Structure formats: C-alpha cells, structure tokens
Structure 1
Amino acid sequence: MTVFGFGEVLLRYTPPNYEQLKDTHTFDVNVGGAELNALITLAEFGHKTEMLTVLPQHALSHIALQKMYQTRVGTEFVKQQQGRIGTYYMEESFGYRSGKVIYDREHSTFAEHGNTVVDDLATQSGDYFIFTGITLAVNKTIREQIVSVLTKLKQQGTKIVFDINFRSNLWTKAEALPVIQSVLPLVDVLFFGKKDATHLLETNDEHDDIETCAKTIQKQFDIHLMASSNRNIEQSTLQGITLAGEKFINGKAYPYTVLNRIGAGDAFMAGFLHGLVKGWQLDAVTDFATKCSVIQHTTNEDALNIEENAVHNLSSHFGELKR
C-alpha cells in the first residue's frame, strides 16, 4: 500500500527570533507543502509514500529533494523542469501581533507543469491519493483535468483524500467554488474546517456548529468519512471530530501552546490516515490525529517527524521531562 501526495513543494523563508519581515536581514529556510508535510509524517509512521511534484533543475531543488531523502518520502514521481521553485515568506505571530504570509509561487515549475506528473501514475488497489485545495489553486491546468484524474484513480481502487484548504490569497472564491464542488462527490476522506462550510461552500450559517456543518456537507456531496481539527482560541484547546456515515465523534479536547502553526492540519491528516490504515476504531483514530496536531504546534519544522509511540505518550503536563 502506497500513499501518494500530489502538490507543490515549497521553500519557506522565516526571520529568526520572531523578527518582522521588514526588519530582518537573515532567514531560516524550511522545506514544506501541505501534501509533503503529510507524507513525511506517514513515512515516519512506517508507510510507503510517493511525492508527485515538479521541481526546477537547479541547486534549490536539491534542498527539497534532500528533505525527501532524509525523511524516506519516495521521489519516483518527482519530475524536474527548467524554472523556479515556489517560495513563501512567513512572519511569525507573537503575543497580540498576528503572523503574516507572503507567497511567491506564481509560474513555479509546479504551477506550470504540475499536472504532468499524474499522467504516469499507475496505482494498485488500496492506495491513497492525497491532494488539497492549494494544489488546485496553484496549478490552473489541473483544475480542468482533476475530475477525470480522480475518476480514473477511483476506478483503480484508489482512496481519494482531500483537504479543502481554501487560501483566499491564492485564488478567489468565484474561482475555487465550482472546482471544489466538482471534486467533492469523488472524495472518500474529506478534511475541512467550519469556514469551508459557512464561507466557501455556503452550505451552513455561522451559528451552525461543526457537527451540523459536517452533516450538511456529507448529505449534499455524499461523502462517507469526514474529519476536522478545531481550535478553541479562548480556551487554547484543540479538538478533533469525525463523521462516518451517521456516527459523529467528538474527540477529546487537548490544551496546546504555539511555537509554530505551520503544518498542524497536515499532521492531523497524517495521523488520521495512519489510524485508518491500521484499522483502529474511529475514536482512537480521531484522538491520535488530534495529538499529532497538538505536537506539531510545538516544533519549528513544517512537518511532524515523530514516532508513533511518542504521539501515544503525549505529555500530560507542560514541560514534562521523561527520563
């Protein structure tokens, strides 16, 4: 069984020590991208993974490739073309100062050629195919092909995993809505947020709770399995929820502190898929995924790179030292 991730691999430039972008003279560099982040975590949990992306033919791509080699993410389907690598600049939040992201990924090798990597994809029954709304936002050509691509994959027995992940600074709601609506009926496992229901799809009102939102989306698009990780900002807790058929699971809420917000949703996705593949009960799957997201908030990396046992043994007290 192989988990495929289809999306852009990025370089993230972050000023050190919570400096503002306007004041910095140096940057820390990280490799990321939603789909790659999830694959890194799944590879650490022991799954066979393959990244489907396009990188440029110059030294910056070696930074990304080296990350994949180090984390045992497969590169068989990584293509290289002349061009540029997608980047973004992140100003980290601190206290009451909000974070900020500036994207510089237009006309990247993935934006221009990313759709070509799915042409050669031959999968076996039981595989998983992960992609996000970010992929659809970045590569305009794949939007026209995605329904036929997903239909072919499903005919081969592949499970389609989709995170809506709408980013308003990458594409407009008017551009995104018809594409995402065309994708949802083909999805086997959907990851979503409440605003996806209330602001993007407009299937729900803002006063609806997350359970109502999930059931409305499920009914409209016939999606059997849905999951979401939800932050309570006032209480500083994170809670996972799952809807499987008519069964709704409210997971345990965990307190969390933020060193880094990048990749928390990707860690949740990876933890959830890990539990599914392992055949765990859905309440255990939801709890494990939530723990993955909580722990990811404590790292400086874009992806959670941790053993399964360390997730199960999540500390019950802040700052606990295990000897």
Structure 2
Amino acid sequence: MSKKVVTFGEIMLRLTPPDHQRFIQADTFNVIYGGGEANTAVSLANYGLDARFVTKLPNNPIGQAALNEVRRFGVDTNYIARGGDRLGIYYCENGASQRPSNVVYDRAHSAIAEAENADFDWEEIFADVDWFHYTGITPALSKKMSDVTLEAVKAAKKHGVKVSCDLNYRAKLWSKERAGQVMEGLMEYTDVVIANEEDAEMVFDIKSGSDITGGDLNVEGYKDVAKQLIDRFDLELVGSHLRISHSASNNGWLVILFDGENFVQSTKYEITIIDRVGGGDSFAGGLIYSLVTGKELQEAAEFGAAASALKQSIPGDFNHVSVKEVETLAGGNASGRVKR
C-alpha cells in the first residue's frame, strides 16, 4: 500500500515576466500556480506516493484553477477548504547572470491567511497517514495560521504521524522575533527539520560561519548548526540543501543530513538555473520520499540533491521528474545527453 503524506500551506498565483524581462518591461505575465507545500505534494505524487494537499481557496474560478493545477498532477485535493475572498499572488522576476531574482508579494488577507481551525477536520485528515509536512511560511501568514498550524502538528502527533518542517524564513512575512517565538512552539511536535544556514540564523539565532551572501560555503559550520538544532529540539534528523551562488544563473548545489550521530554529504552539482523557485521544496519532497520508503541516510541525501538539482532546470514551481530520472542522476549520470 502506498505511503500517505499530507502537506499543509498556501498555494498562490505566480505572475512572471517572460524571457527574463524585468517587471517594468513586461506587458504580459506567465501564469503559474505554486507554493512550498503544494510543490512538495506534487513531487511526492510524481514519485507514486499518496500525496494530500490541505489549504483553503476562495470559491471562485481563480481558486478552482489553483485546485485543478494541483489535482492534475495526482495530488489528493479532497480536504481543501473553500471560502474567503482571494487567492494570494506573487510576482517573480527571474534573475540572470549578476542580476538576482526579485519577488513582490500581494498575499495579505488571502483565503488561507484568514482560515480558522474549524475549516479543517484534522482527525479525518490524519487518519491512516504516515507523514505530515509544513513550512515556516504557513504560520507566518497570520496569527490565525500560527494557531491553526499548532493544532495541525498536535493532531498529527496524536495520530502517530511523523512531522517535518522546512523553516523557510521569509522576512517579508514576519520578524525574526515573531518567527523564533512561534517556531519554537512548533518544534515540540516536529521530528525532521529542513533548515539552511540563513533560516537557522534568522529564526533561532544559530550561526553557521558561512558567508551566505558571498558565495562561500562552510560545510563544517553547517554541521555545527545541525548539531545545535538536534540538541535544542530533540529532533530525529536535520537536513539542508546548501547553495553556493556564483551568480543568479550558476550555482553549486549539495545536500547535508545529520541524524544525531552521522553526517552525510551528497554529490555536489554545478547547475545552470532555468527557474530556482521550488528548488528547496523539491529537496523536501525527495527527502520525505526517501525516509518513508526506507532509504539509508546517504541514499536519502543523494536522492534529495539530485531531485532538487533537476527541478531547477524546469520552469515553474513544480518538479516534474520521476523516481527513475532522479535515481539516474543520483547514480552518476549527469551528462544531459539526449535520450533516444
């Protein structure tokens, strides 16, 4: 029987100027739907798991379009609540070379931000579920969503469900102080944390020693971060993708995992970026798939790194790759030759 995974968070309408144009140049926008937990659910459905995405969407054609987009990739949408006034929007200007990407949010008072615990039947949602995944973006949306997320993780643990969180700190959504306070409470019910060095510093004031803006990468420094997270919150596993930004177009990319005793590091990939949005979410999907299907720690790191490297070659938020494609890259075939 397929493993069941629930993800919970916001899906938004993403508007992106075509051909790497700047906002001020564009007279058209490409329409894309995506969001951290929705992206992860699509990855898991691609890998053959029973993936269930939970959110709240407005009961209008735009909300329906977002629901349809997730459902068409095999994600269970039966527990998506309907109501509220609007779908959140974000504008994403894709960077290139030395020009970074830029994001402008228009998500205040979205349907999910105004949702309440009564919108979600957690007892039914978590029946026969193996894994629950959320990100730090979800409780950042509003005080209501902080409370709802806490109820969700409590219900998950009541049902014996493993819980993972990608910290995903967003300075445009909440302060470091508020993030630290809320996430500290959520960690009590969380087993696996995904946090890069910047997230750990911004949310929990845990420093890695890496120069996160200068293209430097200190793996030993991140090991110290992982140890501090494990010790502080009694976690089962801490993991991260580590990005080395040579430019907006070219990055180094690898994964590190720590289970309290063993550190493992993946192959390092040099990637040419088509679309970096969703790279971290695709790592989360690869890691969760690896853990629920019983992969060893090193295998999990390699699968997660390969999955997220492949995602950044694909336009849009979702990672449209199969287990076989990920395993081929993880197995060492990075030639990119045409398959005939």
TM-score, normalised by the number of residues in structure 2: 0.90
Instruction: Report the equivalent of 1:77.
Output: 79
TM-fit CA distance, 1:11:
0.8
Name which of 170, 173, 190 aligns with 1:170: 173
Is 1:269 aligned to 2:284, yes or no? Answer: yes
Give the conservation status (yes or no) of the 8 Å contact 1:126–1:158. Answer: yes
Partner SS state of residue 91, structure 2: strand
TM-fit CA distance, 1:319:
4.3
Instruction: Report the equivalent of 1:202.
Output: 205
Name which of 306, 310, 322 aligns with 1:295: 310
Partner SS state of residue 170, structure 2: coil
Counterparts in 2 of 1:34-113, with a 5 A limit? Answer: 34-113=36-115
What CA RMSD, in Å, does the superposition of the two structures yield over aligned residues? 1.7
Q: Relative to structure 2, which stretch is displaced further, 284-293 or 228-237?
A: 228-237
Partner SS state of residue 249, structure 1: strand
Is 1:143 aligned to 2:170, yes or no? Answer: no
What is the CA–CA distance in structure 1 between the aligned matches of 2:199 and 2:315, rounded to whole Å?
27
- Tell me: CA distance 1:45–1:126, structure 2 relative to 1, closer, same or farther (3 Å): same
Is 1:215 aligned to 2:230, yes or no? Answer: no
What is the CA–CA distance in structure 2 between the aligned matches of 1:279 and 1:100, rounded to whole Å?
38
Is 1:189 aligned to 2:182, yes or no? Answer: no
Partner SS state of residue 177, structure 2: helix
Partner SS state of residue 231, structure 2: helix
In the TM superposition, what whole-angstrom CA distance separates every residue of 1:90-119 from its partner, at most 9, and x where no partner exists?
111011111110000100111111644434
Instruction: Report the equivalent of 1:230.
Output: 242
1:110 maps to a residue whose letter is I
What is the CA–CA distance in structure 2 between the aligned matches of 1:247 and 1:317, rounded to whole Å?
27
1:297 maps to a residue whose letter is Q
What is the CA–CA distance in structure 2 between the aligned matches of 1:86 and 1:230, rounded to whole Å?
28
What is the CA–CA distance in structure 2 between the aligned matches of 1:236 and 1:302, rounded to whole Å?
18
Give the conservation status (yes or no) of the 8 Å contact 1:191–1:226. Answer: yes
TM-fit CA distance, 1:288:
0.4
- Tell me: CA distance 1:58–1:146, structure 2 relative to 1, closer, same or farther (3 Å): closer
2:240 maps to a residue whose letter is S
TM-fit CA distance, 1:257:
1.1
- Tell me: CA distance 1:290–1:205, structure 2 relative to 1, closer, same or farther (3 Å): closer
Give the conservation status (yes or no) of the 8 Å contact 1:53–1:117. Answer: no
What is the CA–CA distance in structure 2 between the aligned matches of 1:297 and 1:149, rounded to whole Å?
31
Give the conservation status (yes or no) of the 8 Å contact 1:18–1:94. Answer: yes
Give the conservation status (yes or no) of the 8 Å contact 2:191–2:235. Answer: yes
What is the CA–CA distance in structure 1 between the aligned matches of 2:47 and 2:119, rounded to whole Å?
25
TM-fit CA distance, 1:142:
2.7
Instruction: Report the equivalent of 1:309.
Output: 324
Partner SS state of residue 252, structure 1: coil
TM-fit CA distance, 1:23:
1.4
TM-score, normalised by the number of residues in structure 1: 0.95
- Tell me: CA distance 1:145–1:18, structure 2 relative to 1, closer, same or farther (3 Å): closer
What is the CA–CA distance in structure 1 between the aligned matches of 2:123 and 2:112, rounded to whole Å?
16
Is 1:26 aligned to 2:31, yes or no? Answer: no
Give the conservation status (yes or no) of the 8 Å contact 1:114–1:139. Answer: no
Q: Relative to structure 2, which stretch is displaced further, 15-24 or 196-205?
A: 196-205
Partner SS state of residue 40, structure 1: helix
The aligned length equals 323
- Tell me: CA distance 1:150–1:69, structure 2 relative to 1, closer, same or farther (3 Å): closer
What is the CA–CA distance in structure 2 between the aligned matches of 1:176 and 1:142, rounded to whole Å?
13
Instruction: Report the equivalent of 2:214.
Output: none
- Tell me: CA distance 1:168–1:39, structure 2 relative to 1, closer, same or farther (3 Å): same
Partner SS state of residue 61, structure 1: helix
Partner SS state of residue 180, structure 1: helix
In the TM superposition, what whole-angstrom CA distance separates every residue of 1:242-287 from its partner, at most 9, and x where no partner exists?
1112111122211211010100000001011111111111100110
TM-fit CA distance, 1:145:
4.5
Structure 1 gaps of 5+ residues are none
What is the CA–CA distance in structure 2 between the aligned matches of 1:4 and 1:99, rounded to whole Å?
30
2:78 maps to a residue whose letter is E
Q: Relative to structure 2, which stretch is displaced further, 192-201 or 277-286?
A: 192-201
Partner SS state of residue 309, structure 2: helix
Give the conservation status (yes or no) of the 8 Å contact 2:287–2:301. Answer: yes
